[in-house]
Structure 1
């Protein structure tokens, strides 16, 4: 009889079992909630970091290329002889412009391609050798000997330098920034999730002034293109670009002011 009593005392009752199951369930639910919250935090942080990384990439790239606008090396297009000036592409007169139409904006640049070629023998070079649309060859001393190619080969002599120039088109369309080079091929997407892009220009009072005068403007006439001294870029990135306020993370706003050829004092 005593053995039966001791065995009964060691057993769990139904109430105790239900309490244990309840406590276990509460503990499991707590662990699951912590896991879900941690995962959500990770996703949000990763999304925000991705937006920042995309912005840094495009801003860094655009800043570098904007600084090479109007970079013709030792060549001053305004002081060329009339016989040479006529061979300069008309596009060089408006080397930076931003146009918008039906919700699509295109920032068009003529930007120099950095290179360090030196020539000890006469040879031929073409714009395509540098991924460029135009190629200038000069010895920087004789302005009458300037050679410009818009596609075909030109003769490069010992002591010459070459200045490759490419045309870049950055297009803001369908919440993406896209790029095309030298009017060739289709636009390629650089980044997505762009809710808005604003491009404005800082103009000098005259072509002889180096400083921006007055406020920035969104449109510049071709006749005033030579007065552009800086570009103000403003971006709004969101993981829900169609409705930035409804995204899983707060929309990220970025701003960058780039001096054209570092001409701002």
Structure 2
């Protein structure tokens, strides 16, 4: 039986006004959710950029610290007694000589207006690429991981090692030394399974050393490096230049001088260095490399500051800050082509500083 609908009980849908109110509320909710998502995305990008910048800063300080601490390391020879007679350099085309083995172990350069003509790095990638206003530091030392001598041939033209851990090859520059002295020479043979290193006159000024080395001696590889900041040639999403820390290392052979350059880590915009020199009154003064009267042989510690940036724009406001790096300030500029200026962009930037104590300096304990 059909029911009768009561009068006044007609079903109603949403009115136009109610629909518009519902749409407005929904729109506000959607916009709010989108804004939260957008802010979270920006925050995530900034967080990732900050993390990368901090990681880069730690890597740079750690790498420079490990290398600089070992400046002037020549095995167990006491750095306070080392002289040009302590280590004989017989290798052909060596980047060091007996007379400057101490002076060349640590060198600093302020590239204020151009590369200093006449240095050993003249006409190399450093001279061409190191950005103006950023510092360059050059280091020479022996590798800390040496291999003991097992025996020496009676003719003194070969050295036999205890193991293959040295990792040298033909034309490598190495030092054989005990605690009294040593010889820097070039390996002249293809290192074979019998662990023999030859040092004949094809790579050296003499094949017979002036000293005999027994089982109390060890052999170490030679390290010659220079660190500098340069333009990578790459650009960020905003089109701005990306800079990086580079290392130039010695690849010379008996026939010719040579250097290779490798990019260490991108995002480094400036490197500033001060050298802690022990002066006459016993105090240490920290000064730039260009300071008159600075004696690198009296440098016991080094201060480093680097300005690191992200590679892309992630901040909401442009960076117009001035950053203090030891004795220099890096300011914002429309022409950010030097180590003392940075672009007016939205990149994350942070300064990292460190002080490194040098272990192998020719300074007496009484000084």
Q: So what's the TM-score if we normalise by structure 1?
A: 0.80
Aligned match of 1:47 in 46, 49, 54?
49
Tell me what 1:237 maps to: 308
C-alpha separation between the residues in 2 aligned to 1:86 and 1:121?
Answer: 21
User: 2: CA distance between counterparts of 1:36 and 1:57?
Assistant: 32
CA offset digits 1:67-124 (Å, max 9, x no partner):
1101112225755585965754455222111222361643211133121422333435
**8 Å contact 2:225–2:250 — kept in the other structure?**
yes
Q: In the alignment, is the contact (CA less than 8 A) between 1:136 and 1:148 conserved in 2?
A: yes
- Deviation at residue 34 of structure 1 after TM alignment: 0.1
CA contact (8 A) 2:278 2:299 kept: yes
Instruction: Summarize the Cα distance change of 1:83–1:108 in structure 2 as closer, same or farther, 3 Å threshold.
Output: closer
More helix by share: 1
CA-CA distance at 1:37 after TM superposition: 0.2
Counterpart residue number, 2:246: 178
Residue in structure 2 matched with residue 159 of structure 1 by the alignment: 216
SS at match of 1:237: strand
Q: Which string of whole-angstrom CA distances, capped at 9 and with x for unpartnered residues, describes residues 207-241 of structure 1?
A: xx9x6533423326798221111111111122369
Q: 1:131 to 1:255 in 2, by over 3 A?
A: farther
Distance 1:196 1:168 in 2: 18
CA separation of 1:182 and 1:5: change in aligned 2, threshold 3 A: farther
The runs of 5 or more residues in structure 1 that have no matched partner are none
Write the distance in 2 (CA, Å) between the matches of 1:229 and 1:43. 41
- Measure the CA separation in 2 of the matches of 1:39 and 1:237: 23
2:325 is aligned to: none
Matched residue, 1:218: 289
Question: What is the match of residue 277 of structure 2?
Answer: 203
What do you get for the CA RMSD once the two structures are aligned? Answer: 3.6
In structure 1, which of residues 134, 148, 152 is the aligned counterpart of residue 184 of structure 2? 148
- Number of positions where the alignment pairs a residue of Structure 1 with one of Structure 2: 257
Pair 1:247 & 2:318 matched: no
Q: Does the CA contact (< 8 Å) of 1:110 and 1:168 recur in 2?
A: yes
The equivalent of 2:238 in structure 1 is: none
Partner Cα distance (1:222, 1:72) in 2 = 26
Matched ranges for 1:125-144 at <5 A: 129=168, 134-141=173-180, 143=181
The alpha carbon displacement at 1:204 in A equals: 1.5
Question: CA 1:233 to 1:161, structure 2 compared with 1: closer, same or farther past 3 Å?
Answer: same
Question: Given that residues 141 and 223 in structure 2 are in contact (C-alpha distance below 8 angstroms), is that contact kept between their aligned partners in structure 1?
Answer: yes
Which residue in 1 is equivalent to 2:63? 61
- 1:8 matched to 2:11? The reply is yes
Q: Which runs of 5+ in 2 are unaligned?
A: 91-96, 115-130, 153-158, 189-197, 200-208, 232-242, 252-257, 312-331, 337-341
| 2:168 alignment partner, SS class | helix
Q: Which residue of 1 aligns with 2:298?
A: 227
TM-score normalised over the length of structure 2: 0.60
